[in-house]
Chain A
Amino acid sequence: MNRRAFYMFMSPSLLVMLALMVFPLLTSAWLSTQYMTFRNINEPEFVGLANYVEVFGDQKFWNAFTFTMTYIAIAVPMIIFTGFLIAVLLDQVSKRIRGAYLAAFLMPFIVVPVVGTLMVKQLFESGGLVAWLFREIIGSRFIFTEQSVKGLILVHALWAATPFPLIVFFAGLQTLPQELIEASMIDGATRLRQIRYIMIPHLRSLFVFVGLISIMDAYRVFDSVFVLTEQNPIFKAEVMMLYTFRTAMSVQRLGKANAMSVITVVMILVVLAPFLARAYKEQTEER
């Protein structure tokens, strides 16, 4: 395909991405230097880097930042470990039963995040199943506090985010050469050693891929935290995206919210840069 034909095919999509991805990012950078509320949308006031100074001195921002990082540090290893464990176990059972299990495992993945969160929350409501178990076993009522809401957010993360690594690892295990396993069995390798020395090395690139996606998803988690904290906006259970949202929409400090958004973009791009560089190298070699 020549260059002209390429740009002909590419232009609608390219135009959309330039107008609605590149341009907004630049706008966001510009808005972050303005003082803007709902009242002066049309004539914002230039304040330089004052918004950034304010963000870095804001205790609530650091609380949200800390909780987001804690969330990533707990949720990502948890879902990757569970996903890998279940994928390995699923690989051991007969093909006929796998389909039924897979259908059950995929349910949280296909349902809308807001709806899924609402469904998980139903279990903990005053007449809910888990709330009742909690009362029977622990002896006190389940109440929504800062700590319990944080716990709930993590339970929901385990429930909603595990299917993705599970499916990817399971698909990866299907490409594992059978000879490797058989040879290792003859050599007397135990199951654990097979996992350690054959499966994990085979899935290494998938671990990197899933880890990266999971970290990005965990960083931008919003829906579940929004639904679970809607009742009692406890600021300490806030994540970065939710604090940005509230700064923009409730407190109406749009410039400050855009400054936070720019900080987020820069942080993500710094983490992502080596992976993008690798993707670039792979793609240039592949073409």
Chain B
Amino acid sequence: MKRIDNRYALAVIYLLLTAYAIFSVIPFFWTTIQSFKTPRQANSRVPLFIFEPTADNYTDLWLKAIPDDPFFVAIVLVAIFGVLVLIAINARRFPVARGYVYLAVLALGFAVLWSIPGYIRTQTFYDYFLNTIIVTAGTICISISIGCMAGYGLARYSGIAGVIILVAALGFRSLPGMSYILPYWWFGQRSGLYDTHILLIITLVAINQPFTIWMLRSFFMNIPKEIEESAMVDGANRLTAFTSVIIPIMWPGIISTALFTLLLAYSDFLLVRILTQSNWTLTVAISKYAAGEDPGHITLAAAAAVSAAVPIIIIVFIFQGQLVKGLTAGAVKG
């Protein structure tokens, strides 16, 4: 398009865009600042921008006692997770199927996280963090596995049943979570699964399933039929063609969908709030910091909010291309 060359008009455009950008990021900026203050500094009458930062809020939030050599521990942890992330990003260069590489990275990373309380005395906040990882990872694995099969079936089958399932899924997707979660609560109470990870995972899988199959179907439709047909001519049956020919070229789509599933599972509040008593995930644990009587609650809440936001921001930063692709592909097609 021909650009605007009127200098004043351009200045106004940049001014408006910058104002909106500031509006978008100022809560992050301010909360991060607050999280490094002492309660006294945070409650000062005039907002402080220059102050001596303290990490006390974070250590109070995560740790019962600070380890003797905190820097060594930090460096080791950063190194381990750096290597794991590098392996995950370069998964396609390994001689085995990518799915196994991702699973191995996930298992290793989780083993490290699981063993940390053995060396360092951590707070319950860390347990909520582990719960979040278990629930999110479990939801992604199950949801994507069954969603891929369904999405593939829906992309290739032309019968009327496929259309009915898709439209019904759209209807289910539009209903508020509350209409499913109240019955889930009742199931949980009756079956004794209340307050377990299993209940959280299967219900999160179910609630996200309509979205998952729609999105994966749109990715599968972009893969030409001829690819699996040629494999089937060579003697593979449909299932083998699916697992060994289609899935390997589907990874970008799978990662995109997994990213959205991750965002949805990680951020779910209502479901976890209703279906758990003590096995909270981070979002529910954090909502407890929203209100408090003692003056320290503001800085602690800020540290909690930043702690929960950082993992997501890192993940989105790593996979940002997939996020925008998924957002526009899924949305523009409707």
Tell me the A residues contacting B by CB distance below 8 Å. Answer: 1, 3, 5-10, 12-14, 16-17, 19-21, 23-25, 27-28, 31, 41-42, 82, 85-86, 89-94, 101-108, 110-123, 125-129, 132, 159, 163-164, 167-168, 171-172, 175, 178, 181-182, 185, 191, 205-206, 209, 216, 219-220, 222-223, 226-228, 230-231, 241, 244-245, 248-249, 254, 257-258, 261-262, 264-265, 268-269, 272, 276, 279-280, 283-284, 287
Which residues of the partner chain A approach B13 to less than 8 Å between Cβ atoms? 89, 92-93
* B244 contacts chain A at the CB level, 8 A cutoff: no
* B219 contacts chain A at the CB level, 8 A cutoff: no
Which residues of the partner chain B approach A20 to less than 8 Å between Cβ atoms? 180, 184, 202-203, 205-207
A sample of 22 inter-chain contacts (CB < 8 A) reads A12-B145, A17-B172, A20-B180, A20-B207, A28-B183, A31-B183, A86-B20, A104-B25, A112-B267, A112-B283, A114-B267, A114-B283, A127-B45, A132-B47, A178-B1, A181-B1, A241-B178, A245-B178, A248-B185, A257-B182, A276-B167, A283-B163
Asked, given contacts A128-B47, A159-B23, A276-B170, whether A21 binds B298 with beta carbons under 8 Å apart, the answer is no
Asked, given contacts A92-B4, A104-B21, A127-B47, whether A118 binds B286 with beta carbons under 8 Å apart, the answer is yes
Contacting pair B209 A119 (CB below 8 A): no
Asked, given contacts A230-B290, A245-B270, whether A261 binds B178 with beta carbons under 8 Å apart, the answer is yes
Task: State which of B71-79, B81-89, B119-127, B306-314 sits at the interface with chain A.
Answer: B306-314
Contacting pair B177 A112 (CB below 8 A): no
Select one of A9, A28, A104, A129 contacting B150, CB under 8 A: A9
What is the CB-to-nearest-CB distance from B276 to chain A, in angstroms, rounded to a whole number? 12
* B93 contacts chain A at the CB level, 8 A cutoff: no
Cα distance, A168 to B329, chains bound together (Å): 10
How many cross-chain pairs have Cβ atoms below 8 Å apart between A and B? Answer: 308
- Chain B: residues with Cβ within 8 Å of the partner, total of 108
Cα distance, A181 to B1, chains bound together (Å): 7
Q: Is the interface of B mostly helix, strand, loop or mixed?
A: helix
Contacting pair A264 B176 (CB below 8 A): yes
Tell me the B residues contacting A by CB distance below 8 Å. Answer: 1-4, 10, 13-14, 16-17, 20-21, 23-28, 30-31, 34, 42-47, 145-147, 149-150, 152-154, 156-167, 169-172, 174-180, 182-187, 189-190, 202-203, 205-207, 209-210, 213, 238-239, 242, 263, 266-267, 269-270, 274, 282-284, 286-287, 289-291, 298, 301-302, 304-305, 308-309, 312-313, 316, 320, 323-324, 327-328, 331-332, 334
